[in-house]
């Protein structure tokens, strides 16, 4: 099992190129199931979650090839409607195959993904959406079993804003008969990116990126070539690192529009941020001001940046309140940060973070993807050496993060333990 070691105290400098967005690539790769023929996607990040998705698509009968950051998926050979437990348990987002399988094959049997470290993460809204489209749903032996004749457009209201739920139903509705309206839909850039790809396949989707999405179902879709949008969370992670270490870092290949909430909050901490079309320059100062943060669905501050922002607050002047409103258990990094000397008190869904002078390098354990990134950031400013164990979580969602930090001047390396 790999671990990452970071010797803290160095300033970062230079430019870093951000990769394709994991959470945009996953549904877009899965959308290939909706048509016959070769789809080609560029700027696909080389990540464990992407490989898990490809394994699942191959299991379903799709022909997939990967060359560098280009992935081709041809689902002409789609030959099973079953996504087994062994493939789904590796990655919760596998539930995204449910909608496309039902739409294409009129039936699907997909393992229930179960909870994970950050919360229970139910899929009731995915199921409710499909039921509204006319699918019959049963839960048996740990699997969702769905069947239908042809799906029929419907008016669907999501009680809670759900990103993959919106994506799943949007994909299913693209091939349904008639018009579907999704109300209280997620507005994340990944939704807009998926809708763009589906529209280029021949779907008729309007309003993606707003809370009301209208999908006029079509008979069939055709394959496309498309590029994956830049990863806004990787972008935010480098921005936070620059602010944290008082460094001057330019993030290139980014989409500044997608990280507005993060830019706003980092500016309030005192960082100087210059934004160009696809570049963001962050200059951190010697002093970090405390700022309160509340995670919200997009365009609010992303839950996927909460842990990284918290590290910044652990060494800020004064105290800040960080409220997590998306997931019920997304403070698992707190106890590891405390082992590094952070002063954090949790009460319900809020963490009171009192800034300390320095963090102290320690062996720590990553428990989920963004928590891993947060511990690496903490290591960049801690004294001595921080050893981040279980970095397979990190490899699910960041491509060569330690190499990118090393190129910016950090003393960071990977070891096999």
Nearest approach, Cβ of residue 279 and ligand EPU (Å): 23
Burial status of residue 120 (CB atoms within 10 A of its CB: 0-12, 13-18, 19 or more): exposed
**In the complex, which residues of this chain contact ligand EPU (CB under 6 A)?**
23, 26, 93, 119, 121-126, 160, 162-165, 186, 190, 303-304, 326-327, 369-370, 397
Least Å from the CB of residue 258 to ligand EPU:
12
| C-alpha closest to that of 163 among 188, 184, 180, 195 | 188
Query: Shortest Cβ distance from residue 283 to ligand EPU (Å)?
Result: 27
**Do residues 353 and 313 touch, judged by C-beta distance below 8 A?**
yes
- C-beta of 124 vs 220, nearer to ligand EPU: 124
Q: DSSP strand E in 218-327: where?
A: 225-227, 248-252, 272-275, 279-283, 293-294, 319-323
- DSSP of 166-198: HHHHHHHHHTSBSEEEEES----HHHHHHHHHH
- Closest to ligand EPU by CB, 205 vs 369, is 369
Nearer to ligand EPU, 163 or 229 (CB): 163
If the CB atoms of residues 169 and 288 are measured against ligand EPU, the closer one turns out to be 169
Tell me whether residue 213 or residue 288 sits nearer to ligand EPU (CB atom): 213
**Least distance to ligand EPU, CB of residue 26, Å:** 5
Counting every residue written for the chain, the total comes to: 417
Which region, left, alpha or beta, applies to residue 46 given φ > 0 means left and ψ of -120 to 50 means alpha?
beta
Closest CA to 163 of 302, 265, 57: 302
User: What kind and span of H or E run contains 111?
Assistant: strand 107-111
* CB-CB contact of 97 with 30 (8 Å): yes
Could you tell me the smallest distance in angstroms from the CB atom of residue 417 to ligand EPU? 24
Catalytic residues: 116
* 348: CB partners within 8 A, 6+ apart: none
**Shortest CB 260 distance to ligand EPU, Å:** 15
Q: How far apart are CA 52 and CA 48, in angstroms?
A: 6
């Amino acid at each position: 099992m790999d671990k990452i070691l970071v010797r803290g105290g160095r300033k970062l400098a230079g430019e870093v190129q951000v990769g394709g967005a994991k959470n945009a690539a996953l549904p877009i790769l899965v959308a290939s199931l909706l048509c016959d023929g070769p789809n080609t996607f560029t700027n696909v990040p080389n990540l464990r979650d992407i490989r898990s998705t490809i394994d699942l698509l191959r299991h379903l009968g799709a022909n997939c090839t990967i060359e560098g950051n280009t992935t081709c998926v041809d689902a002409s050979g789609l030959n099973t409607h079953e996504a087994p437990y062994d493939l789904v348990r590796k990655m919760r987002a596998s539930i995204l195959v449910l909608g496309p399988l039902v739409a294409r094959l009129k039936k699907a049997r997909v393992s229930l993904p179960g909870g994970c470290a950050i919360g229970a993460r139910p899929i009731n809204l995915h199921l409710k959406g499909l039921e509204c489209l006319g699918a019959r749903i049963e839960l048996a032996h740990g699997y969702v079993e769905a069947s239908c004749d042809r799906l029929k457009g419907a008016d669907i209201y999501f009680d809670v804003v759900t990103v993959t739920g919106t994506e799943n139903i949007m994909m299913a509705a693209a091939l349904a008969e008639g018009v579907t309206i999704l109300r209280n839909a997620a507005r994340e850039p990944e939704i807009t990116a998926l809708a763009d790809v589906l529209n280029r396949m021949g779907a008729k989707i309007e309003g993606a990126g707003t809370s009301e999405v209208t999908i006029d179902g079509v008979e069939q879709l055709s394959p496309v070539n498309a590029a994956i949008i830049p990863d806004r969370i990787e972008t935010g992670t480098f921005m936070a690192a620059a602010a944290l270490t008082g460094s001057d870092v330019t993030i290139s290949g980014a989409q500044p529009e997608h990280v507005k909430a993060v830019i706003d909050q980092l500016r309030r901490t005192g960082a100087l941020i210059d934004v160009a079309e696809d570049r963001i320059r962050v200059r951190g100062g010697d002093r970090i001001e405390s700022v309160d943060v509340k995670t919200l669905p997009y365009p609010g501050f992303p839950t996927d940046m909460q842990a990284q922002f918290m590290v910044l607050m652990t060494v800020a002047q004064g105290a800040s309140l960080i409220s997590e409103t998306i997931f019920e258990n997304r403070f698992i990094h707190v106890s590891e940060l405390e082992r590094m000397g952070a002063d954090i008190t949790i009460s319900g869904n809020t963490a009171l973070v009192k800034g300390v002078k320095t963090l102290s390098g320690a062996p720590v354990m990553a428990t989920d993807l963004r928590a891993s990134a947060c511990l690496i950031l903490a290591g960049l400013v801690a004294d001595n050496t921080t050893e981040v164990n279980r970095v397979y979580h990190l490899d699910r969602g960041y491509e060569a993060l330690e190499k990118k930090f090393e190129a910016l001047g950090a003393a960071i390396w990977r070891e096999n333990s």
